[in-house]
């Protein structure tokens, strides 16, 4: 890798010669501006506003524009003569926990490479000291004409440096938070937790730029004279969320399907499912066991009530049989008094057996 800066790390009285190389690179697809009429490339020319003549790179210098528009020329020699101790040195000023660095300050990333064999021993010493302390080093350095703030940490067996913005370059988040006061229910938090658990973790190396791949496919197709078919439209994003609970439930279901899991089938309406979602603390307060006992007792009462009406028909049947018996007894007594025999009942004709 080509170095962009040569200097040294100042670690107390220890000086470690190093080379600075870029740790990142951009893979975005670059486009050129063209003239739509003939496809000619559009170029920008550097022209002096006074004589309206095009100026080459060797004739261009720096200047600071004052408030009234006056240009104050500044040469590279004047900038180089400024008393900046970090002009060729990465000066470590402190060792702090990594958590004390605000991620908002993170800027460009670089690898620090030991410059020469004599630098290997102090370089390794600093690297191992950072590992054992589990801290990062805060340093000051100068690059491209200005002093900057940096953070040194260990990546594998290499010391990496992240450029940091100065604290006064971080804007306040004032006005970015919602202006209205919003209350979030436990049921909504529980569903959000379920969605986070379903999405789970991800292997960062598996993530890639889908848009860049689509642009590259488009360019390759047009270069071969082909026309790509338009991609299928995905699910609409954004929009106004009408029912937050339903949106969270649908998100959990979609995440499970994407991971190959079978989503739970819910036959109850959304309102019933929402009522069942309570926090663990809420379940302990309500007492799940007591609720089961109450449900069992109520079902027992219901069963007892249902079985009670079945006794009434039994009483009626007994009453009917008693009345029939008394009627037969009365009939026999009447017959005995009158001396007449009761008429014999006709025998029912027998059915012939079919051959």
Query: Is the model's pLDDT at 233 over the cut of 60?
Result: yes
The mean pLDDT value for 301-310 works out to 44
Would you state the pLDDT for residue 222?
86
Would you state the pLDDT for residue 301?
45
Predicted confidence band of residue 234 (pLDDT cuts 50, 70, 90): low
Q: Is residue 32 part of a domain?
A: no
Place of tokens 């007892």: 304
pLDDT in tens, 19-57: 999 999 989 899 999 999 999 999 999 999 999 999 999
Both 163 and 253 in one domain: the answer is: no
Query: Is the model's pLDDT at 326 over the cut of 70?
Result: no
Comparison of pLDDT for 219 and 271, the residue scoring more: 219
Would you state the pLDDT for residue 312?
44
The whole domain housing 199 covers 185-203+242-280
Which of 175-179, 273-277, 280-284, 331-335 bottoms out in mean pLDDT, i.e. has the lowest?
A: 273-277
Rounded Cα gap, residues 255 and 253, in angstroms: 5
Q: Is residue 248 part of a domain?
A: yes
CB 109 within 8 A of CB 169: no
The mean pLDDT value for 114-124 works out to 93
Both 161 and 246 in one domain: the answer is: no
Q: Is residue 296 part of a domain?
A: no
For the chain, what is the mean pLDDT? 77
Q: Is residue 146 part of a domain?
A: yes
Q: β-pairing, 3-11 with 89-96?
A: parallel
The answer, as to whether pTM is greater than 0.85, is no
Would you state the pLDDT for residue 186?
92
Both 16 and 133 in one domain: the answer is: yes
Would you state the pLDDT for residue 237?
53
Predicted confidence band of residue 78 (pLDDT cuts 50, 70, 90): confident
Q: Is residue 51 part of a domain?
A: no
CATH number, domain with residue 81: 2.40.290.10
- For 355, how many CA atoms within 13 A lie in the half-sphere containing its CB? 0
pLDDT in tens, 85-117: 777 899 999 999 999 999 999 999 999 999 989
Look at residues 222, 27, 261, 8 and name the one whose alpha carbon lies nearest to residue 126. Answer: 8
Query: Is the model's pLDDT at 314 over the cut of 80?
Result: no
Report CA torsion sign: 52, 58, 63, 65: positive
Token couple for 179: 């202006």
Comparison of pLDDT for 253 and 231, the residue scoring more: 253
Q: Is residue 331 part of a domain?
A: no
Tell me which DSSP letter residue 61 carries.
Answer: -
Token couple for 20: 């600075």
Both 164 and 248 in one domain: the answer is: no
Query: Is the model's pLDDT at 129 over the cut of 90?
Result: yes
């Amino acid at each position: 890798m080509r170095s962009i800066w040569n200097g040294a790390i100042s670690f107390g009285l220890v000086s470690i010669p190093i080379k600075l190389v870029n740790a990142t690179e951009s893979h975005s697809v670059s486009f050129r501006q063209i003239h739509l009429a003939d496809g000619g490339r559009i170029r920008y020319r550097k022209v002096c506003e006074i004589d309206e003549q095009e100026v080459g790179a060797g004739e261009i210098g720096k200047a600071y524009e004052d408030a009234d528009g006056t240009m104050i020329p500044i040469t590279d020699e004047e900038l180089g003569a400024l008393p900046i101790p970090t002009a060729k040195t990465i000066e470590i000023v402190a060792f702090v926990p990594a958590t004390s660095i605000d991620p908002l300050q993170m800027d460009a990333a670089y690898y620090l490479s030991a410059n020469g064999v004599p630098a290997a021993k102090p370089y390794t010493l600093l690297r191992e000291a950072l590992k054992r302390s589990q801290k990062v080093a805060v340093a000051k350095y100068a690059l491209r004409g200005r002093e900057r703030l940096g953070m040194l940490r260990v990546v594998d067996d290499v010391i990496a440096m992240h450029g940091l913005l100065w604290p006064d370059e971080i804007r306040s988040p004032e006005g970015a938070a919602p202006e209205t006061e919003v209350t979030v229910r436990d049921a909504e938090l529980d569903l959000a937790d379920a969605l986070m658990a379903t999405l789970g973790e991800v292997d960062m190396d598996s993530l890639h730029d889908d848009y860049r791949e689509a642009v590259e496919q488009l360019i390759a197709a047009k270069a071969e004279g082909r026309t790509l078919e338009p991609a299928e439209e995905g699910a609409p994003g954004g929009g106004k969320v009408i029912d937050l609970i339903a949106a969270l439930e649908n998100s959990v279901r979609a995440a499970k399907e994407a991971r190959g899991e079978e989503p739970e089938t819910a036959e109850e309406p959304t309102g019933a499912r929402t009522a069942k979602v309570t926090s663990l603390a809420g379940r302990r307060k309500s007492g799940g066991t007591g609720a089961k006992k109450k449900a069992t007792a109520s079902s027992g009462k219901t069963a007892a009530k249902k079985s009670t009406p079945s006794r009434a028909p039994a009483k009626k049947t007994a009453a009917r049989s008693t009345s029939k018996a008394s009627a037969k007894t009365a009939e026999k007594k009447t017959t005995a008094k009158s001396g007449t025999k009761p008429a014999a009942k006709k025998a029912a004709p027998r059915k012939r057996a079919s051959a």
